A and B are shown apart, each in its own frame.
Chain A
């Protein structure tokens, strides 16, 4: 059981860019950490413990916790590395939350980063999968996601153009975020005319590969008043993982009880029951979702309960998920605009915190009080966090 209520009290990030040859990974991490410490009005000395994460195979650096100790601020402090694939950034957030919620640490620094420019992203992703059963045919995230898109379209009648609406929405939002990597005023036509990477997924449907870092300060209820910004409270967390091989999620749709995307559905059921969410579209003021490609912005809305199965296209086309709509999705521009993979999940939590603190600049959702952040990874697993302005009544897992 959680002993303490926990809030995000400081946010730091680098600008997300296609390549940062001017810095090493250590220096990139340090940029985000210094920004977070400055934002929180504290110094390295005030930090009780650190959680750091990335995906080793993108840089070929396997000891990031110790290798980056000068940059990450952990010199002679407790630090642990977390890597859960695509969900790494949200798992870093959850691990930092656990540190503080346990009552063992008051101020925890969460760091997530990637320099995707340092290797071939598809090749590196393939090495994350099983050498006997997956690697011979698997073609990384693009093709793995395309398998999902094919099935989704066949089962619901959704179209490639429906998906293009998601790609356009997130890129439009990114125009308002100076930290986003892609700043392109995309149109439906541009997405539809972009070349196929892996049918039915086109260039315009996919996230970029990015260099970037993000750092957050997680603080106990006992110390939140020491910080300059109002706390963005973590109301609850939940996560679910599926099995080993890339073909397993399609099996699990039948075998582990979910109907569609079991890991997301079960995590959603748990976290919504903890916080009392019954009508997410009307209860959340915004959602920062790990949507690595456009079709996810249709299908995952269904697994998250924003609409019925097959209702994703109508929901997105209605404008309800645009900035200014009922529940804006990805006001930051989302993963489709910036994807420094290890950092990506933590950036979702960062955007929720900035929005709840009223510090999101031109993309600010007016009076944002309740926000959902998700992480997505590998064999269709799922991390979820709900953040809110109102302090929870009691500590909650």
Chain B
């Protein structure tokens, strides 16, 4: 049974694609169109506990009630935690190598009680820290499509001044 490795056959899925079309839902769509059309962040507020969620979601998990009230949320916030990705990998959403290094962070937008994941425009770990202030930088008007990537990244704000 000791086959030579070269004699063992593998087949590849190759360039085949199986596209999916996901629904953002009415509320998620509202969040994304606000970003696309007005460069504004919206959150959704729980009628029971008063917590504001970004990204928008329909149900408050702990209260288990539906949320309806959309509220504006700042495009500035602070870093909860972060990493600088240095290993290369193929992004399954695009089929292309993700450009590394890049920093992504858990970001707490002012006025929200939940956090979002996004890029930060600094790849030196020495210059990043938990609590650092950041501000959203949006794609140009003709490039926004209704995606989280309509936000190019968050810029690290200069704390020295």
Contact = CB atoms under 8 A, between A and B. Distances in A.
Interface size class of A (residues with CB under 8 A): 35 or more
Q: Which 4 A-B pairs have the closest CB atoms?
A: A146-B83, A151-B81, A199-B84, A21-B8
A248 interface: yes
Contacts of B14: none
Interface string B112-134: 01111111000001000110000
A276 interface: no
Given A60-B13, A133-B148, A146-B85, 9 more contacts: A21-B8, A126-B93, A131-B22, A137-B118, A150-B81, A199-B83, A200-B83, A246-B117, A248-B115
Q: Which of A143, A198, A247, A255 has the most CB of B within 10 A?
A: A247
Most buried by A among B3, B20, B82: B82
Interface string A181-197: 00000000000000111
Interface residues of B, number: 46
B82 A122 contact: no
B62 A198 contact: no
Contacts of A126: 91-93
A251 B84 CA distance: 21
B115 to A, nearest CB: 4
Contacts of A243: 61
A198 B115 contact: no
Given A132-B55, A136-B93, A247 B8 contact: no
A301 B114 CA distance: 27
A251 to B, nearest CB: 5
A385 to B, nearest CB: 26
Interface in A226-263: 243-248, 250-251, 255-256
Contact of A151 (B84, B91, B92, B130): B130
5 contacts: A21-B8, A146-B85, A150-B81, A199-B86, A243-B61
A348 to B, nearest CB: 26
Contacts of A200: 83, 125
A251 B114 contact: yes
A250 B81 contact: yes
B80 interface: yes
